[in-house]
Amino acid sequence: HLELKNSREQLEKQNEELIQAAELREDVERITRHDLKTPLDTICGFPEIIAMEGNLTPDQLENLQLIEDAGYRMLNMINLSLDLFKMERGLYQFSPQPVNIIKIILKLFRENENLITIKNLTTTLLMEGRQPTPEEQFLVAGEELLCYSLLANLIKNALEACPEHSTLSVWLNYKNERAIIQIHNLGCVPTEMQDRFFDKYATAGKSMGTGLGTYSARLITQTQKGQISFTSSEPEGTSLFVELEKAP
């Protein structure tokens, strides 16, 4: 009985230490997010101030806009990190609004232009089997930042997996009251990765990979009352399927 009591006390102590370590990590992450926001506010604000001074070429104005967009994107990602923490614990309050997926996809194609150029890739976007006009909309019931983060992860991963001189295709279709987003590339997910493709920290073949991209994509999809899946084989390549609710 004494040995059992000592074992129980030791387990309780270890459990308490783990809880304290988790709380410390959360505190550090909150402080880090707060400290990062201050310089980012400056980065986001300066391009507008510089642009107001005038005497800039169209290319310079475009570059300033890219800097401002990147700053706000990073600021949003910092805010999202706290939201992901809430999602993991089932505490996130989902507030769906109509989100235009076409606008997000085209924006992501532009943001990844360097990678697309380096690998000599082409990109295609089809809605209901045809190329949409820039004014058309493919609306889902979601949150703008969540949809952007979800698709940013999946498209960046797909572009990195694309063989050179190949095509990344995105197909958008409605099915009943659901919106289906399919992202296809000719790369193949390694066999040993396929069973844990959406697992946390699962990664293969990427020196800077964290294994959080597809994990957060699944978390964000499920938070938005959706489903995510994939197929992958050597001859067919890889297709990711994101199914979200169609906006009313």
CB atoms under 10 Å from CB of 97, counted, come to 11
Alpha-carbon distances, residue 238 vs 65, 119, 167 (angstroms): 34, 18, 12
pLDDT at 113 over 60: yes
CB atoms under 10 Å from CB of 89, counted, come to 7
pLDDT at 26 over 80: no
Which residue, 55, 88, 121, sits at the end of a domain? Answer: 88
Whether 111 and 147 share a structural domain:
yes
pLDDT digits (tens, 9 = 90+) for 170-208: 999 999 889 999 999 999 888 877 677 767 755 655 544
Residue listed under structure tokens 């066999």: 191
Alpha-carbon distances, residue 155 vs 39, 49, 70, 74, 239 (angstroms): 28, 33, 17, 17, 11
Higher local confidence (pLDDT), 70 or 229: 229
Whether 211 and 192 share a structural domain:
yes
State the average pLDDT for the chain: 83
Average pLDDT over residues 74-94: 80
CATH number of 159's domain:
3.30.565.10
* R_g of the chain, CA atoms, integer Å: 22
Whether 43 and 132 share a structural domain:
no
Higher local confidence (pLDDT), 184 or 69: 184
Could you give the number of structural domains in the chain?
2
By the 10 Å C-beta count (0-12 exposed, 13-18 middle, 19+ buried), 154 is classed as buried
Indicate the DSSP class of residue 174.
E
Residue listed under structure tokens 């000719």: 186
pLDDT digits (tens, 9 = 90+) for 223-244: 999 999 999 998 899 999 999 9
Which residue, 25, 54, 88, sits at the end of a domain? Answer: 88
Whether 104 and 213 share a structural domain:
yes
Whether 144 and 174 share a structural domain:
yes
pLDDT at 83 over 90: no
Which residue, 88, 121, 156, sits at the end of a domain? Answer: 88
**What is the pLDDT at residue 103?**
92
Whether 61 and 106 share a structural domain:
no
Average pLDDT over residues 111-128: 94
**What is the pLDDT at residue 65?**
82
